Amino acid sequence: MSKINEFCEKILSYAKAHCDGEFEVYASSGESFRVGILEGQIKDYSVNDYSGISFRIKKNGKMGYASTTSCDEDGIPALVENACRNAALIEKPDEQFIFSGSASYPSPKVYGEELDGITAEEKIAFAKLMEQKAKEADPRIIKVETSLVTSGKSTVVIKNSNGMDLCEDSNFIAGYVIPIAADGEKMNDGFGFCGGFDRACLDVDKAVKKGVLEAIDFLDAKPVKSASMRVIFRNSAFCDLIETFSGIFSSENAQRGLSMLAGKEGEKIAADCVTLTDDSTLDFGFGSRAFDAEGVAGRRTVVVENGVLKTLLYNLETAYKAGVESTGNASKGGYTSPIGISVSNFTLTPGEKTLEELAAKMGDGLIITEVSGLHAGANAVTGDFSLMSKGYLVEGGKTGRAVTGVTVSGNFYELLKNIEEPGCDTYHNMFGAAVSSPSVLIGVPMSIAGE
């Protein structure tokens, strides 16, 4: 048994001997590796391991939390006592749950065995190669800000007084590169990456191509005049929007009045072409897992079907309150966080057209390839967004010059209704939430602020 597993058992034994009530240990531990290359040399190198243990106890119907990073037995009494004290502060009237386990669990593949065999030397060599290829890709690439490989593996353990005993290992590897292009005084950077669960996904050419293209294409980018314009959100930009607003599908937000989708289950909330599913059981999905943060089995949930909201996403507490079953979307932001709700692999079902075909259909407008400042310029409670954007001008159905220094403004709830057509070019977001989306053509003009 691993050290962390053993320590969790010790906490449970201590709690059994000293406390009434139901209780649970949630532990997350793992290793991480990172190497960054600059000018063919190792710029930074980091190799780490970590563990975090959260204990929660339900006393008199109220749940209290405490956590620690130390596997020191002397710290156990304080951990348990803090959780008990915190439980006594809670006023929330809602029924709390320490789960006894699902009848069966899916076993999505989330661990790439092949990654264990990739040595630090290979990772260093890959980062060096990525830098070299980026520099050689175009004379305008003057340097590479970062060429980096990062990998990690982690283990989640949940054990509780109701007999639950779950454990899941996962891993990943990723490389990313930030080439810098210059033309006279003008400089611009791009971001390229690759990654996944086996050797093959370390695709140096894919990462370099994307990063270099971005760095070069936007060297001469200029704003457009402020106008109301037709818009296509390219796949990765729409992933970012969906991720930012994914909280509107949380039943917790709905029950708290923080989502305008409260009470809309069964109603039309989006265009006919919109189908959104959440599926934690996909093999090698970045959001895949056998069980959620409460130990409820992972599953596939159709959230929006042909524009109709079929269900929100639930954990045990919100599901009980709504009289439905948990959808297995309980989550913890980190091991210290209380239980919340988030998407697993959240996917907008693709259509049939390529990005070029969508642009041809749009005629005149803007393809938005990147939105930034989402943590500030998008309000998940109101749905409003006003975001700095980059992209390409489309004239007569043809993609033209690069555009930067503009903002796109709108409201996500309105946007869902105004999607005219999703494309066929599904993109899987690797950073942040595991959202997948194709490019989408919006059916109404949007506000673009520029010059």
Partner 1 sequence: MVEKRVSEAVLLKAMSTGADYAELYVEDMTSDNVSMIADCVDSANTSRDMGAGVRIFCGTNSVYAFGNGTDEKSLMELAAKVAAAAGTASSAGIDIVLNEVKFDPVCRAEIPALSVDKKIRTDALKQAYFAAKEYSPEIVQVSGVLASSCKRIYVANSDGVIGTDERPYIRLAVSAVASDGNENQSGFTGPGNSAGFEFIQSLDLKAHGREAARIATTMLHAGKCPAGKMPVVMDNAFGGVVFHEACGHALEATSVGLGNSVFCGKLGQKIANEKVSAVDDATMISEWGSRAMSDEGEKTERIQLIKDGILTGYMIDKLGSRRMNMRSTGSGRRQNYAFAPTSRMSNTFICPGSDTRDQIISSTENGLYAAKMGGGSVNPLTGEFNFAVMEGYMIRGGKICEPVRGATLIGKGYEVLLNIDMVSDDLVLGQGMCGSISGSIQTNVGQPMIRISEITVGGEIE
Q: Is 42 one of the binding residues for partner 1 (CB under 8 A)?
A: yes
Residue 442 in contact with residue 368, Cβ under 8 Å? no
Choices 167-175, 298-306, 345-353, 403-411 (CB under 8 A): range interacting with partner 1? 403-411
Beta carbons within 8 Å of 356's beta carbon, 6+ residues apart: 399
Q: Is 68 one of the binding residues for partner 1 (CB under 8 A)?
A: yes
Nearer to partner 1, 271 or 448 (CB): 448
Among 7, 23, 26, 65, binds partner 1 (CB under 8 A): 65
Amino acid at 109: K
Among 87, 177, 207, 419, binds partner 1 (CB under 8 A): 87
Q: Is 76 one of the binding residues for partner 1 (CB under 8 A)?
A: no
Longest CA span, the chain: 75
Q: Is 379 one of the binding residues for partner 1 (CB under 8 A)?
A: yes
Place of tokens 């209290």: 64
d(CA 259, CA 378): 14
Q: How far is the CB of 445 from partner 1 (least distance, A)?
A: 8
Choices 97-105, 201-209, 325-333, 406-414 (CB under 8 A): range interacting with partner 1? 406-414
Residue 419 in contact with residue 273, Cβ under 8 Å? yes
**Where does residue 450 rank: exposed (0-12), middle (13-18), buried (19+ CB within 10 A)?**
middle
Q: Is 5 one of the binding residues for partner 1 (CB under 8 A)?
A: no
Q: How far is the CB of 240 from partner 1 (least distance, A)?
A: 13
269-328 residues in contact with partner 1 (CB under 8 A) are none
Nearer to partner 1, 290 or 408 (CB): 408
End-to-end Cα spacing for the chain? 63
d(CA 31, CA 47): 8
Give the H or E element holding residue 356: helix 355-362
Q: Is 45 one of the binding residues for partner 1 (CB under 8 A)?
A: yes
Among 47, 220, 363, 364, binds partner 1 (CB under 8 A): 47
Q: Is 66 one of the binding residues for partner 1 (CB under 8 A)?
A: yes
Among 351, 377, 391, 422, binds partner 1 (CB under 8 A): 377
Q: Is 267 one of the binding residues for partner 1 (CB under 8 A)?
A: no
Quick one: CA dihedral 311, 314, 318, 320, positive or negative? positive
134-153 residues in contact with partner 1 (CB under 8 A) are 143, 145
Structure tokens at 208: 């370099």
Q: How far is the CB of 71 from partner 1 (least distance, A)?
A: 7
Q: What is the DSSP string of 103-161?
A: S---------GGGGG--HHHHHHHHHHHHHHHHHS-TTEEEEEEEEEEEEEEEEEEEET
Q: Is 90 one of the binding residues for partner 1 (CB under 8 A)?
A: yes
Residue 142 in contact with residue 23, Cβ under 8 Å? no
Place of tokens 């800000």: 145
Quick one: CA dihedral 281, 248, 303, 366, positive or negative? negative
Structure tokens at 121: 């030397």
The residue count for binding partner 1 (CB under 8 A) is 77
Nearer to partner 1, 340 or 397 (CB): 340
Q: How many CA atoms lie within 13 A of 123 on its CB side?
A: 28
Nearer to partner 1, 70 or 354 (CB): 70
Q: Are strands 384-395 and 427-428 parallel, antiparallel or unpaired?
A: unpaired
Q: Is 119 one of the binding residues for partner 1 (CB under 8 A)?
A: no
Q: Is 384 one of the binding residues for partner 1 (CB under 8 A)?
A: yes
Q: What is the DSSP string of 249-279?
A: GBHHHHHTT--TTTT-TTSB-S-TT--EEEE
Among 382, 395, 398, 401, binds partner 1 (CB under 8 A): 382
Q: Is 405 one of the binding residues for partner 1 (CB under 8 A)?
A: yes
Among 100, 107, 226, 354, binds partner 1 (CB under 8 A): 226
Q: Is 373 one of the binding residues for partner 1 (CB under 8 A)?
A: yes
Nearer to partner 1, 306 or 372 (CB): 372
Nearer to partner 1, 72 or 104 (CB): 72
Q: How far is the CB of 37 from partner 1 (least distance, A)?
A: 10
Choices 10-18, 62-70, 97-105, 160-168 (CB under 8 A): range interacting with partner 1? 62-70
Structure tokens at 79: 């951990």
Q: Is 14 one of the binding residues for partner 1 (CB under 8 A)?
A: no
Among 40, 338, 363, 432, binds partner 1 (CB under 8 A): 338
